């Protein structure tokens, strides 16, 4: 298998499920008070550093992008799947969305005031995660906040169907907070807070707040 087959599989899978995915997850935040609080805190941290553009990397259909916009952030979304972004643009015509890969972020060094990866690292294999986090460090301004949401666990599973029964082929990587925090530190982020939550997003989800070191 080619080293980047997982990228093609992820793109095709989410192109396939985009409309059903949007319908199923649209109201998740309404039943997720702790995750809403984390997003509000992230917005406060961006403003405390002087504000500026914020990247929602792996934004999917744009629901978190839209929520952060409602919180007053100058936020834009990036996603691998054109199908997901078509739905994002349909539902949020006033917001900016771009096709791109977190493995090769097409953003200038230090160009964003903050970055969020909300359950979007879950398909990145271990051997590529350091590369992704190095890009995050490169594009975030020194001192800028990072917010990561992820599934907690030790196993990797192959998802072959989802979001209305559509075919998919994506590996879902669950990781322990301590392990992901160590990756973040290795790639230039100070880890400031960690928590686990149960919500519609995840039976056991993790949230980590980091800050880009110089």
Domain residue ranges in the chain: 5-212
Tens digits of residue pLDDT in 178-190: 999 999 999 999 9
Which of 126-130, 138-142, 162-166 has the lowest average pLDDT? 162-166
Q: Is the pLDDT of residue 3 over 60?
A: no
Mean pLDDT of the region 23-41: 96
Handedness of CA 174, 177, 183, 187 (dihedral sign): positive
CATH superfamily of 5-212: Vaccinia Virus protein VP39 (3.40.50.150)
pTM above 0.85, yes or no: yes
Q: Could you tell me the pLDDT band of residue 214, with boundaries at 50, 70 and 90?
A: confident
At residue 104, the pLDDT reads 94
Mean pLDDT of the region 144-155: 98
Tens digits of residue pLDDT in 169-178: 999 999 999 9
At residue 62, the pLDDT reads 98
At residue 190, the pLDDT reads 98
At residue 76, the pLDDT reads 98
- The mean of the pLDDT values for the chain is 96
Q: Is the pLDDT of residue 196 over 90?
A: yes
At residue 1, the pLDDT reads 40
Q: Is the pLDDT of residue 164 over 90?
A: no
Q: Is the pLDDT of residue 4 over 90?
A: no
Q: Is the pLDDT of residue 197 over 60?
A: yes
Mean pLDDT of the region 111-120: 98
């Amino acid at each position: 298998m080619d080293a980047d087959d997982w990228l093609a599989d992820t793109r095709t899978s989410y192109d396939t499920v985009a409309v059903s995915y949007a319908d199923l997850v649209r109201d998740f935040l309404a039943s997720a008070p702790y995750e809403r609080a984390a997003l509000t805190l992230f917005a406060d941290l961006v403003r405390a550093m002087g504000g500026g553009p914020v990247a929602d990397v792996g934004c999917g259909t744009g629901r978190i992008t839209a929520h952060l916009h409602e919180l007053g952030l100058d936020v834009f979304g990036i996603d691998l799947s054109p199908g997901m972004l078509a739905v994002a643009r349909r539902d949020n015509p006033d917001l900016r969305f771009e096709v791109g890969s977190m493995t090769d972020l097409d953003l200038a060094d230090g160009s964003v005031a903050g970055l969020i990866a909300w359950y979007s690292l879950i398909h990145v294999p271990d051997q590529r995660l350091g590369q992704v986090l190095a890009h995050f460090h490169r594009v975030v301004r020194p001192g800028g906040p990072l917010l990561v949401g992820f599934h907690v666990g030790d196993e990797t599973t192959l998802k072959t169907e989802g979001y209305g029964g559509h075919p998919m082929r994506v590996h879902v990587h669950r990781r322990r907070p301590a392990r992901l925090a160590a990756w973040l530190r290795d790639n230039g982020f100070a880890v400031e807070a960690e928590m686990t939550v149960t919500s519609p997003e995840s039976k056991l989800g993790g949230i980590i707040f980091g800050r880009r070191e110089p």
